[in-house]
Structure 1
Amino acid sequence: MEMTMTHYMELLATNQPWNLLIFMAVPVILAETIAVTELFILFGRNLSGGLRKLNKFAGIIAGFYFLGIFVYLFINAVIPLTVSGQWRGIADVIAVGFYLSGVIPLLGMSLLEIGLLGRHKTEEGKLKLHATFVAIFLVVAHVAMIFGMLSPSVFQLSHMQM
């Protein structure tokens, strides 16, 4: 069985440690900060304390930071890989696709935090929407990581045992 890696893993493994920091560490640290502070905010219902301020700051930064990643990778990876037919199978497409789809909940969270989304919602409604965005991001990020760590050859029919 040929051992190759998905473009997702290749991106993280190349240009060490910078790509790992830029494309994984910063977004994950921001997302984990949001997730952990979100739990304390939800349980304590303290919508104005220091944790809420940290949560809001991380939420604003995460969405716009990841939007930059999305645009950069779409232009420099997705389009060229698609045009040249260099995807390494379905696991590769799923990993990159789910990774980039993280822009939807993260940017949604940022737009919620700056008041462009959910303007007519109550504070509790905004809190629910915020928690939903966190949950969606955690799911898509973990799907991306799981498929990204697979060898693309796992799903190739020519290598499967019949």
Structure 2
Amino acid sequence: MSMTHYMELLAVNQPWNLILFMAIPVILAETVAISELFILFKRPGSSALRMINKTASIIGGIYFLGVFIYLLNNAVIPLTTSGQWRGPADVIAVGFYLAGIIPLMGMALLDLNLIGKKRDEEAKLKLHATFVAIFLVVAHIAMIFGMLDPALLMTTPSAHVMPQHSVH
């Protein structure tokens, strides 16, 4: 069974790629997600919990920006220019993984007060929670398609030809 570039990236150079491309971003994002739930339920909430949430959010966004730039230059552009994608599942997995930059940087920019400056705390909290939800969706889509055998979504010309039956 062949694997997507997403899974190959995580499988090679063990354990470093798994740590750098999966563990660190997921631990930071899950820290944000879990602390976000407590913050939403315990408003106004603990300042220590808000600081953990904000710190993980900012570090996660900036860290993933580095991952995004690295993979764009060292994987996406070379795979695209050389035509080496392994089908739709491969493109979906990598694309959704990299799409995580949008919510992660959104949270970081919000917590750095670079966006949403005119929003009140309630509106910022809702936007932050929305970014968390978006990240969870894109990350899970990336994981699901990343674990697929890329051949499953590939079509071949013979797959569209109806078999001919002889009539006697």
TM-score by length of structure 1 reads 0.95
Displacement of 1:46 in angstroms is 2.7
**After the TM superposition, which residues 5-154 of structure 1 pair with which residues of structure 2 at under 5 Å, given as runs?**
5-47=3-45, 49-154=47-152
Give how far 1:156 is off.
Answer: 1.6
Q: Which runs of 5+ in 1 are unaligned?
A: none
Q: Deviations over 1:91-117 (max 9, x none)?
A: 000000000000000001000001101
Give the whole-Å Cα distance in 1 for the aligned partners of 2:52 and 2:154.
Answer: 45
Report the structure number with the largest CA radius of gyration.
2
Q: What secondary structure does 2:69 align onto?
A: helix
In the aligned structure 1, how far is the partner of 2:62 from the partner of 2:42?
28
Deviation at 1:80, TM superposition (A): 0.2
Separation of aligned partners in 2, 1:34 and 1:101: 18
Measured on the aligned residues, the alpha-carbon RMSD in Å equals 1.4
User: Residue 39 of structure 1: SS of its match in structure 2?
Assistant: helix
- Unmatched segments (≥5 aa) in structure 2: 163-168
Contact 1:46 1:52 in 2 (8 A): no
TM-score (norm 2): 0.92
Aligned residues: 160
| Partner SS for 1:157 | coil
Percent identity between the two aligned chains: 69
Equivalent residue, structure 2, for 1:156: 154
| Structure 2: distance between partners of 1:45 and 1:9 | 39
